[in-house]
């Protein structure tokens, strides 16, 4: 009898600790439909999700399941048809400097140097800061992703991984409390991808782990390595949240060791089961 | 060693092919010249078209005449300035009288200078530039506006499609009526025919700005000014210059026809005058000069286009 009481107390405590973190993003009953010539297409339907400050959430699902659309409602690039999205306590009405975005295809301006690409974003967001302060911010962020010596190069002269590092530095440079990454490493090779994961977490640690990060991906390993929770979406159209899988792996996580962790394997299997119905040719009968 | 020779030779390949091409042209030209040679006993009935060598000879003598004029009298430069000035000011205005009184010094000298190819070339170039600049100043802003909205594009598109194929010669009388001066009508003709490529290319450039670039502006809250200077213009500039290159080519083509109609001091008139005077050598010289200047203008704009293009 006594032990259960104690357990209950501990549980209460952990719940209380979690509740201390303020809500960073609240998605309330959000539906997104598009008016197309073929009729109304509903991408995501009645989504509810609350993200705490400092959490890393991975949105995972098949291509076209609406994960990018859902992300769009947070960034403000996509307008929801119904429901409400609240970021940092304010309803999302459009893109804002409190939310930094990293696009899948880097989206660097090809005619501007690496330095200028970041500077224009900083210049646009921190209108009140002096020129030297802005330059300081750009330099700091370029050094953070180890690209300072490449600052005068054009994006066309960089490799895919370097381009994405510039895009990440650009997103960090406006110091957003929420970082939105839309399939950021999808176009990179596996090796570059791995080092980018570590680099991303390093950047977050430099920032006292205060940033909330939402990452859209279709890579299960990426999702587990980075996220605190993995949100699995159903197949579209009108996709909903299928399941939210907690990733209770201690940080800092080690790329090499983590794969041997039984918990990791359990989560991996669970996600694989949620995403894939058929595992071998024999399954078709 | 042998491979080094190969690459050195390959470097000269473009020049070699140019020489081959020009040789073929010269040969065909010579064949035409032989073909038009008067038959025995009918020497006075037809005129032989001069061959390439004879034409180069004429070109040489034309250049010699012009350089003599330059050497003879420093008034040559004044004559050019007078010609260009008279092209740009309205007829019978105070400015025209001022130009005439300031530069009019030696009538016989000026008469010979005005007949020279150099003065006519500069007169033509002046008119082309005036028309081209006016046309571009109209075309670029309209193109920018047209391209930035789908509705604008759809409204202006039929107008452009309708006016674009109209022959430059058809615009000339209209220009005469509107501006009641031959020089003005020529420039009007250039404006209205060289407008379209720049307009269309500018509009296309603006409408083709990738969604990715627009998203950057949205995500980081670019002001309209920043969007225009950092995204719209850098992306559109190469397209604008493609249009400008096509426009200057058309303007240069139209000027000759215009000057044949309007008279005055230009290469078109030089060619027409030479034909009337029965001097086919000078006519062909004019054609060679027109072609050469056309190439130079094209190369100039290709160079500018490369300058403003970014490498992705």
Q: Does B294 touch chain A (CB under 8 A)?
A: no
Query: How remote is the C-alpha of B214 from its chain's centroid?
Result: 36
User: Over pLDDT 70: what percentage of chain A?
Assistant: 91
pLDDT at residue B162, as a whole number: 93
A6-63 per-position pLDDT tens digit: 555 555 545 555 557 888 899 999 999 998 899 898 888 999 999 999 899 999 988 8
Phi, psi (degrees; rounded to nearest 5) at A93 = -110, -15
**DSSP-derived 3-state class of residue A52:** strand
Neighbours of A261 (CB within 10 A): 16
Q: How far apart are CA A106 and CA A163, in angstroms?
A: 6
For residue A96, the chain B residues in CB contact (below 8 A) are 221
User: CA of B240 to nearest chain A CA: how many angstroms apart?
Assistant: 16
Does the beta-carbon distance from A107 to B220 stay under 8 Å?
A: no
Q: Does A103 touch chain B (CB under 8 A)?
A: yes
User: CA of A282 to nearest chain B CA: how many angstroms apart?
Assistant: 43
Choose the closest CB to B221 out of A97, A111, A112: A97
Can you spell out the DSSP letters for A124-150? HH-TTS-HHHHHHHHHHHHHHTT-GGG
Q: In the sheet that A82-87 helps form, which strands lie side by side, from edge to edge?
A: A39-52, A23-36, A82-87, A90-91
- Bridge partners of A57, per DSSP, are A214, A229
For residue A156, the chain B residues in CB contact (below 8 A) are 310-312
Q: Where are the domains of chain A?
A: 20-98+179-200+210-277, 105-175
Q: Does B249 touch chain A (CB under 8 A)?
A: no
Does the beta-carbon distance from A125 to B223 stay under 8 Å?
A: no
Q: What is the pTM of this model?
A: 0.80
pLDDT at residue B113, as a whole number: 66
Q: How far apart are CA A46 and CA B287, in angstroms?
A: 74
> Which residues, other chains included, contact A37 with Cβ-Cβ below 8 Å and sequence gap of 6+?
none
Angle at alpha carbon of residue B245, lines to B242 and B249, rounded to 5°: 145
Q: How far apart are CA A61 and CA B42, in angstroms?
A: 91
CATH fit for domain A20-98+179-200+210-277, picks 3.40.1830.10, 3.40.50.300, 3.30.70.1350, 1.10.1060.10: 3.40.50.300
For residue B308, the chain A residues in CB contact (below 8 A) are none
B267-310 per-position pLDDT tens digit: 888 888 888 888 888 889 999 999 999 999 999 999 999 988 87
The model's confidence at residue A181, banded by pLDDT at 50, 70 and 90, is very high
Chain B 178-217, residues with CB within 8 Å of chain A CB atoms: 212-213, 215-216
Sign for the pseudo-dihedral over CA of B241, B155, B229, A108: negative
In this structure, are residues B168 and B257 in contact, taking their beta carbons and an 8 Å threshold? Answer: yes
Average pLDDT of span A227-254 = 87
Q: Where are the domains of chain B?
A: 116-308
pLDDT at residue B296, as a whole number: 95
For residue A97, the chain B residues in CB contact (below 8 A) are 220-221
A124-144 per-position pLDDT tens digit: 999 889 999 999 999 999 988
- A215 or A259, which is more confident: A215
Fold of B116-308: MetI-like fold (1.10.3720)
Strand A82-87, strand A90-91: pairing: antiparallel
pLDDT at residue B105 is higher than 90: no
User: CA of B84 to nearest chain A CA: how many angstroms apart?
Assistant: 39
- Least confident span in A177-186, B106-115, B207-216: B106-115
Does the beta-carbon distance from B312 to A105 stay under 8 Å?
A: no
> Which residues, other chains included, contact A112 with Cβ-Cβ below 8 Å and sequence gap of 6+?
A120, A154, A155, B230, B234
Does the beta-carbon distance from B219 to A105 stay under 8 Å?
A: no
ipTM: 0.82
**DSSP-derived 3-state class of residue A86:** strand
pLDDT at residue A18, as a whole number: 53
In this structure, are residues A103 and A122 in contact, taking their beta carbons and an 8 Å threshold? Answer: no
Q: In the sheet that A241-246 helps form, which strands lie side by side, from edge to edge?
A: A99-102, A178-182, A212-217, A56-60, A229-233, A241-246
């Amino acid at each position: 009898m006594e032990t259960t009481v104690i357990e209950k107390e501990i549980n209460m405590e952990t719940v209380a600790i979690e509740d201390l973190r303020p809500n960073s993003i609240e998605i309330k009953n959000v539906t997104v439909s598009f008016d197309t010539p073929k009729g109304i297409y509903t991408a995501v339907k009645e989504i509810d999700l609350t993200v705490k400050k400092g959490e890393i959430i991975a949105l995972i699902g098949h291509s076209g399941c609406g994960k990018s659309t859902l992300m769009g409602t947070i960034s403000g690039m996509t307008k929801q048809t119904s429901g409400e999205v609240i970021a940092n306590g304010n309803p999302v009405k459009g893109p804002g400097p409190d939310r930094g975005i990293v696009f899948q295809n880097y989206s660097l301006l090809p005619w501007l140097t690496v330095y200028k690409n970041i500077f224009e974003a900083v210049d646009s967001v921190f209108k009140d800061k002096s020129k030297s302060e802005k330059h300081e911010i750009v330099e700091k962020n370029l050094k953070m992703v180890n690209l300072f010596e490449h600052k005068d190069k054009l994006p066309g002269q960089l490799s895919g991984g370097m381009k994405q590092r510039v895009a990440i530095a650009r997103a960090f440079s406006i110091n957003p409390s929420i970082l939105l990454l839309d399939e950021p490493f999808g176009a990179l090779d596996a090796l570059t991808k791995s080092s980018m994961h570590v680099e991303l977490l390093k950047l977050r640690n430099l920032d006292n782990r205060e940033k909330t990060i939402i990452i859209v991906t279709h890579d299960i390993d990426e999702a587990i390595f980075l996220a605190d929770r993995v949100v699995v979406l159903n197949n579209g159209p009108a996709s909903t949240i299928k399941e939210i899988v907690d990733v209770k792996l201690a940080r800092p996580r080690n790329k090499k060791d983590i794969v041997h962790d039984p918990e990791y394997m359990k989560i991996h299997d669970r996600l694989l089961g949620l995403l894939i119905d058929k595992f071998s040719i024999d399954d078709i009968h | 060693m042998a491979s080094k020779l190969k690459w050195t030779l390959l470097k000269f390949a473009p020049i070699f092919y140019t020489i081959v091409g020009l040789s073929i042209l010269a040969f065909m030209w010579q064949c035409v010249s032989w073909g038009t040679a008067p038959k025995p006993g009918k020497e006075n009935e037809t005129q032989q078209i001069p061959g390439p060598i004879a034409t180069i000879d004429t070109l040489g003598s034309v250049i010699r005449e012009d350089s003599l004029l330059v050497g003879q009298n420093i008034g040559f430069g004044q004559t050019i300035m007078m010609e260009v000035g008279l092209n740009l000011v309205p007829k019978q205005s105070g400015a025209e009288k001022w130009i005439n009184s300031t530069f009019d010094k030696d009538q016989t000298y000026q008469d010979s200078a005005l007949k020279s190819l150099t003065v006519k070339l500069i007169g033509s170039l002046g008119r082309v530039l005036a028309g081209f600049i006016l046309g571009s100043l109209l075309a670029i802003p309209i193109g920018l506006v047209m391209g930035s909205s789908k509705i604008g594009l759809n409204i202006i598109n039929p107008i452009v499609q309708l006016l674009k194929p109209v022959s430059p010669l058809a615009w000339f009388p209209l220009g005469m009526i509107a501006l009641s001066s031959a020089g003005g009508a020529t420039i009007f003709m250039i404006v209205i025919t060289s407008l379209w490529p720049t307009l269309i290319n500018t509009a296309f450039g603006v409408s083709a700005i990738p969604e990715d670039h627009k998203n950057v502006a949205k995500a980081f809250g670019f002001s309209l000014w920043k969007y225009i200077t950092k995204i719209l213009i850098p992306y559109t500039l190469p397209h604008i210059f493609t249009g400008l290159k096509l426009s200057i080519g058309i303007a240069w083509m139209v000027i000759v026809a215009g000057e044949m109609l309007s008279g005055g001091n230009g290469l078109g008139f030089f060619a027409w005058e030479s034909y009337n005077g029965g001097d086919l050598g000078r006519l062909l010289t004019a054609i060679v000069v027109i072609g050469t200047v056309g190439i130079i203008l094209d190369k100039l704009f290709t160079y500018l286009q490369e300058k403003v293009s970014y490498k992705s």
